[in-house]
Amino acid sequence: MKRILFILHYPPPVHGSSVMGQIIKESKPINETFSCAYINLSTSRTLDEVGERTFKKVGRYLSIIIKVIKQLLMNRPQLCYIAIAVKGAAFKKDAFIAFIVKLFGVKIIYHFHNKGISTNQHKIIYNILYKCVFKNTRGILLSEYLYDDIKKYFPKDRIFICPNGISDIHATKENENEDEKSVSPSIKSSVEILFLSNLIKSKGVFILLEACKILHQKEIPFKCTFVGAEGNISKEDFQQKVKELNLSEQVKYVGKKYGSDKEEAYAKSDIFVFPTYYNLETFGLVNLEAMQHSLPVISTPEGGIPDVVENGVTGYLVPQKNVIALAEKIAYLILHPQLREKMGKAGREKYEKEFTLEIFENKLLSIFRQVIDIV
């Protein structure tokens, strides 16, 4: 059985890369096909620790290095999978680990869950590091839209496209409880809008709040629920902004939700909104989760999101930071319940055809086999 060393992230903290890392770690087909070893690349345990430099994180990083060397010496993997960061201190620490793997002559495949190479490649140090780290390696992108970010260092024949996939929890509109199913979307007194992500400015939190203000001023009935951990926006900052915009009756923040609580948040909603302008955004996993739950999605064309959200079919893509455009699309879906249902069903169908866990696992298996067999 071929051996693969996975150096990746898994929760905590919860973000797109760590969620997918957990999915890979728990994948039955991957673990049954290959002899797998897993090392958690994350040195942060909470969102507050991300970006900070502490002795605890240094200790965790040294532990990671020791584990990597031990695996390379004892298990001799044929392939090393690294969920690499591409900028800042995170890239530099990941690059050092990649150099260690290279010293042992092990093939490397990088899984890019973020972007930013093209914005740093003109810097001398970054350019040198990128050339060394990516030389004679292969990469996995979540979308064709992301290739421009890495094209200086990876010819297309060394790149694989593998969109994220998630397990089907069967939480479609048809599976909601009887009380909710009995309410026709055309006679609902108030439409439920959902935002689910960490409270980070660049995820579009305040942009959505400003759009909600416009809806309120136009007397369009709605409720908007924000779900997620506190990031660079605290609960107090969020509530103060809601108060300033006179949205206390329409908007609520309910904190983090996981498992069945998170699924319930999706099930109770009518529209999902994720107006991100985060410059490292590559996929927007929450958009996919919303489509799985038959929700129309309003998002932005950041990163590979256009591969997930089909504009005018499964939802709408609006320009980043454009409050007016965002408010217009939300209002349109609120006032057109049949369109909401149509887009939600189209999103569910797109998920089933392109983004299931089985499709994701099969693509990864194919990629790993190809790379291991390359001489």
**297 - beta bridge partners?**
272, 315
pLDDT digits (tens, 9 = 90+) for 285-316: 999 999 999 999 999 999 999 999 999 999 99
Q: How far apart are CA 300 and CA 320, in angstroms?
A: 6
Q: How far apart are CA 53 and CA 46, in angstroms?
A: 13
Q: Looking at the structure, tell me whether residues 321 and 361 fall in a common domain.
A: no
pLDDT digits (tens, 9 = 90+) for 207-245: 999 999 999 999 999 999 999 999 999 999 999 999 999
Q: Looking at the structure, tell me whether residues 180 and 220 fall in a common domain.
A: yes
pLDDT digits (tens, 9 = 90+) for 125-183: 999 999 999 999 999 999 999 999 999 999 999 999 999 999 987 644 444 444 444 44
Q: Is 362's pLDDT higher than 50?
A: yes
Q: How far apart are CA 355 and CA 283, in angstroms?
A: 12
The boundaries of the domain holding residue 284 are 173-354
Q: Which two tokens stand for residue 287?
A: 């958009």
User: What is the CATH number for 225?
Assistant: 3.40.50.2000
Q: Looking at the structure, tell me whether residues 85 and 184 fall in a common domain.
A: no
Q: How far apart are CA 315 and CA 350, in angstroms?
A: 12
Q: How far apart are CA 42 and CA 25, in angstroms?
A: 14
Q: Looking at the structure, tell me whether residues 147 and 193 fall in a common domain.
A: no
Close Cβ partners of 339 (under 8 Å, ≥ 6 residues apart): 296, 332, 333
Q: How far apart are CA 108 and CA 139, in angstroms?
A: 8
Q: Which two tokens stand for residue 261?
A: 């609580």
Q: Looking at the structure, tell me whether residues 149 and 226 fall in a common domain.
A: no
Q: Looking at the structure, tell me whether residues 182 and 152 fall in a common domain.
A: no
Q: Is 21's pLDDT higher than 90?
A: yes
The DSSP call for residue 311 is B
Residue 336 Ramachandran class (φ > 0 left, ψ -120 to 50 alpha, else beta): beta
Q: Which two tokens stand for residue 363?
A: 């693509």
Q: Looking at the structure, tell me whether residues 240 and 135 fall in a common domain.
A: no
**Mean pLDDT value of segment 38-45:** 92
Q: Which two tokens stand for residue 105?
A: 């002559």
Give the count of domains, the chain.
2
Q: How far apart are CA 67 and CA 359, in angstroms?
A: 31
